[in-house]
């Protein structure tokens, strides 16, 4: 890649970065400008709506006082109510139109709908209020006269809540804007809480009547809430250092008038009401007209403060809008100037560097092709680095000339070195051939040894398979084996001989036992498990011989008992026929014989149990055990016959 192209790409990337940064800054500035503009619009809508709501609140207060007049209200009251109505309706209509045009505000439609609904309800309440004010107090409905100002108050609260939909709906905010908004809202709250107190005190001074205890409790609550709202206002202003001086003066003036003069004045009126006994006329320190004028001044100061804060908030956002617009313009100008500067720097570098570098490239190309007589310019008034580059190129050309001379000398030396290397390579090839032959012989010997080991392993595997099948007669040859395989074959042969001898002796002993020879004893000249087998076989033969001897003795006793029983039975039958008088003696004898026969039967059953034990122990004795079981079955049959004879003897004795 050429340097000119690289510079172009580099400056292009820098230009893209600067342009992107400038566009980002401009975009942020425009975005902030948009948000500030929207904040200014929302602030204007909110200020207009709050001012109109304050006017309607004042209308509600004047209406409540007007309904307390014993006669139709004076003209100045009617004019005051009409003026407040015009201000409220005009301001709310303007707020509705501005909110409808603020398409960016997501709650605009909701605000418009709620405000229009409240205005419709207020219009209905005003018509009913006008009907009541047009007649004397005796013709008015007392309940409606009391409820209508409260219902109008509820609509004022709804309008105030609808105004909350316009607040904090933009993406930009500052501490100053927050403080101005707090002054606007808190001043409105103080005026609202003080307005209800003014209504009750105005009615009391108008009718020269005491204030009800329940109303005094509400007035105390409103006074506390007004003080809390004012404290919040002062804290918000105190947290901001650069509040407008004019607004600060309005705050001080409103505080001096409302809290310095108005609050103590209504406290005196309240004290006079509390001190008046029931049924008497209070001695209020201020007449109705003076109090109404004075209260309007105090409440008007709070209303003016709220409106001034709203106007300051609108002016603040307008100033922010102008400052933000100036920042956006400055950002765009900076971007354009940066790009222009980059273009100028690129042109200068192209003339003073790139062109000369291309000439240097042509010189180096000629040198690379072998043209060492190329001309090199000197003493040009160029950049220091370029002049140094030309000096370096000239030195490079001289070095090439020296190198060309040395190249011939180096070539001859290289030829000699290559001849020596070729001879060394030939010797190395001969050594490699000898090592390859040796390796081949070793591999052949290893393959032969591997073949022998495989044959030996196959032979061992066959013998192992025969042993696993029970044939221990096979033996392995050891003459053609050596090393570990010779030791393995010797071991396998010894195992086969030991197993064959032991199993042959066991097989012979079992054959003698199967033939009924219980006197044969197996030799105990063995080791390990075969010695244990020999001892077990000999113990089994001795146990079988003793058991069969006891069986034979028991069988003889059973036979003799049966013969004696038969003789006694015959003699008993003959004597029974000859004489009935000897029956009792015979019965006694028969009882004794019965006991003896039962004893013989018990012996037979004991012998039967022994035989069953012998059958379990000698189950592996094949034919001998089978014969023993047959003999036991015959003994069992004889025992059953004896039992039948005993039953017959018992019947005869009975």
Q: What percent of the chain has pLDDT over 70?
A: 68
Are 624 and 582 a contacting pair, CB within 8 Å? no
What b/e string do you get for 293-328 counting C-beta neighbours within 10 Å, with b at 16 or more? ebbbebbbbbbbbbbbbbbbbbebbeebbeebbebb
Helix (H, G, I), strand (E, B) or coil at 542: helix
Are 357 and 1 a contacting pair, CB within 8 Å? no
Looking at residue 610, its pLDDT comes to 46
Looking at residue 407, its pLDDT comes to 77
Kindly state the DSSP code that residue 71 receives in the 8-state scheme: S
* Interatomic CA distance for residues 290 and 368, integer angstroms: 112
* Interatomic CA distance for residues 351 and 4, integer angstroms: 10
What b/e string do you get for 102-119 counting C-beta neighbours within 10 Å, with b at 16 or more? beebebbeebbebbeebb
Give the CA count within 13 Å in the CB-facing half-sphere of 4.
Answer: 13
**Scanning the structure block, which residue is given the tokens 């609140």?**
57
User: Residue 527 pLDDT > 80, yes or no?
Assistant: no
User: Residue 93 pLDDT > 90, yes or no?
Assistant: yes
Helix (H, G, I), strand (E, B) or coil at 283: coil
* Interatomic CA distance for residues 182 and 235, integer angstroms: 10
Are 382 and 356 a contacting pair, CB within 8 Å? yes
User: Residue 121 pLDDT > 90, yes or no?
Assistant: yes
Cβ-proximal residues to 153 (8 Å cutoff; 6+ apart), any chain = 57, 60
Helix (H, G, I), strand (E, B) or coil at 380: coil
* Interatomic CA distance for residues 384 and 380, integer angstroms: 10
Cα–Cα nearest to 593, from 645, 536, 541: 645
User: Residue 473 pLDDT > 70, yes or no?
Assistant: yes
| Two structure tokens written together for 148 | 């209508």
| Two structure tokens written together for 622 | 């094949």
The confidence band for 120, taking pLDDT boundaries of 50, 70 and 90, is very high
Provide the sign of the torsion angle of the four alpha carbons 284, 288, 292, 293, taken in this order.
negative
Looking at residue 544, its pLDDT comes to 73
pLDDT digits (tens, 9 = 90+) for 569-599: 455 456 546 644 554 554 565 565 445 445 5
* Interatomic CA distance for residues 144 and 133, integer angstroms: 12
| Two structure tokens written together for 637 | 């049959």
The confidence band for 86, taking pLDDT boundaries of 50, 70 and 90, is very high
| Two structure tokens written together for 615 | 């059958």
- The distance of Cα 154 from the centroid of its chain, to the nearest Å, equals 49
**Scanning the structure block, which residue is given the tokens 């035989």?**
611
What b/e string do you get for 204-236 counting C-beta neighbours within 10 Å, with b at 16 or more? bbbeeebbeeebeeebeebbeebeebbebbeeb
Q: Which of 117-131, 197-211, 353-367, 394-408 has the highest mean pLDDT?
A: 117-131
pLDDT digits (tens, 9 = 90+) for 604-639: 455 445 445 544 644 554 565 566 556 556 656 665
The confidence band for 422, taking pLDDT boundaries of 50, 70 and 90, is confident
| Two structure tokens written together for 408 | 């011939």
User: Residue 187 pLDDT > 60, yes or no?
Assistant: yes
Looking at residue 3, its pLDDT comes to 54
Residues in the chain: 654
| Two structure tokens written together for 25 | 């800054």
* Interatomic CA distance for residues 617 and 609, integer angstroms: 13
| Two structure tokens written together for 357 | 């570098």
What's the alpha-carbon Rg for the chain, to the nearest Å?
A: 67
Give the CA count within 13 Å in the CB-facing half-sphere of 644.
Answer: 6
Is pTM beyond 0.75? Reply is no
* Interatomic CA distance for residues 264 and 261, integer angstroms: 6
- Calculate the average pLDDT of the chain: 74
């Amino acid at each position: 890649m050429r340097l000119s192209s690289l510079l172009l790409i580099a400056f292009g990337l820098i230009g893209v970065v600067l342009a992107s940064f400038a566009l980002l800054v401009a975009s942020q500035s425009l975005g902030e400008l948009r948000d500030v503009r929207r904040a200014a619009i929302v602030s204007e809508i909110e200020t207009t709506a709050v001012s109109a709501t304050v006017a309607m609140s004042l209308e509600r207060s004047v209406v409540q006082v007007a309904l307390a007049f014993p006669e139709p209200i004076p003209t100045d009251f009617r004019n005051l109510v009409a003026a407040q109505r015009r201000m409220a309706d005009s301001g709310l209509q303007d707020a509705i139109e501005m909110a409808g045009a603020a398409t960016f505000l997501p709650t605009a439609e909701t605000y418009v709908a709620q405000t229009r609904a409240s205005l419709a309800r207020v219009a209905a309440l005003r018509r009913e209020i006008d009907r009541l004010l047009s007649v004397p107090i005796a013709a008015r409905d007392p309940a409606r006269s009391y409820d209508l100002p409260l219902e109008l108050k509820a609509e004022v609260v709804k309008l105030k809540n609808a105004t909350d939909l316009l607040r904090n709906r933009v993406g930009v905010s500052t501490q100053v804007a927050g403080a101005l908004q707090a002054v606007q809202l808190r001043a409105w709250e103080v005026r609202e809480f003080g307005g209800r107190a003014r209504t009750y005190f105005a009615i009391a001074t108008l009718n020269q009547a005491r204030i009800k205890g329940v109303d005094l409790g509400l007035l105390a609550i409103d006074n506390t809430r007004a003080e809390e709202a004012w404290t919040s206002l002062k804290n918000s202003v105190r947290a901001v250092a650069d509040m407008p001086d004019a607004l600060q003066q309005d705050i001080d003036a409103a505080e001096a008038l409302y809290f310095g003069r108005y609050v103590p004045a209504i406290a005196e009126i309240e004290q006079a009401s509390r001190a008046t006994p029931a049924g008497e006329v209070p001695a209020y320190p201020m007449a109705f007209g003076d109090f109404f004028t004075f209260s309007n001044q105090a409440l008007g100061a709070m209303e003016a403060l709220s409106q001034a804060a709203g106007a300051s908030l609108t002016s603040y956002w307008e100033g922010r809008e102008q400052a933000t617009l100036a920042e956006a313009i400055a950002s765009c100008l900076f971007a354009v100037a940066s790009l222009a500067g980059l273009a100028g720097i690129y042109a200068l570098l192209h003339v003073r560097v790139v062109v000369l570098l291309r000439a240097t490239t042509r010189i180096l190309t000629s040198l690379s092709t072998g043209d060492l007589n190329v001309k090199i310019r000197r003493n040009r008034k160029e950049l220091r680095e370029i002049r140094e580059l030309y000096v370096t190129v000239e030195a490079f050309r001289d070095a090439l000339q020296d190198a060309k001379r040395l190249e011939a000398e180096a070539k001859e030396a290289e030829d000699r070195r290559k001849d020596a290397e070729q001879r060394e390579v030939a010797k190395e090839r001969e050594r490699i051939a000898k090592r390859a032959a040796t390796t081949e012989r070793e591999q052949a010997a290893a393959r032969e040894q591997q073949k022998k080991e495989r044959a030996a392993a196959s032979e061992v595997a066959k013998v192992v398979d025969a042993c696993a099948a029970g044939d221990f007669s096979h033996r392995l040859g050891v003459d053609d084996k050596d090393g570990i395989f010779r030791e393995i074959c010797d071991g396998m042969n010894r195992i086969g001989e030991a197993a064959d001898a032991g199993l042959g002796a066991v097989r012979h002993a079992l054959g003698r036992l199967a033939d009924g020879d219980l006197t044969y004893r197996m030799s105990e000249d063995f080791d390990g498990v075969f010695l244990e087998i020999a001892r077990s076989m000999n113990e089994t033969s001795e146990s079988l011989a003793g058991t069969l001897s006891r069986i034979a003795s028991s069988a003889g006793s059973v036979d003799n008992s049966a013969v004696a029983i038969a003789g006694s039975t015959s003699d008993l039958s003959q004597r029974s026929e000859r004489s009935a008088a000897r029956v009792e003696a015979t019965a006694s004898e028969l009882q004794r014989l019965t006991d003896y026969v039962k004893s013989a039967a018990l012996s037979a059953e004991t012998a039967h149990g022994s035989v069953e034990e012998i059958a379990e122990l000698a189950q592996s004795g094949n034919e001998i055990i089978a014969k023993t079981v047959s003999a036991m079955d015959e003994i069992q049959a004889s025992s059953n016959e004896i039992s039948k004879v005993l039953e017959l003897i018992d019947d005869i004795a009975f």
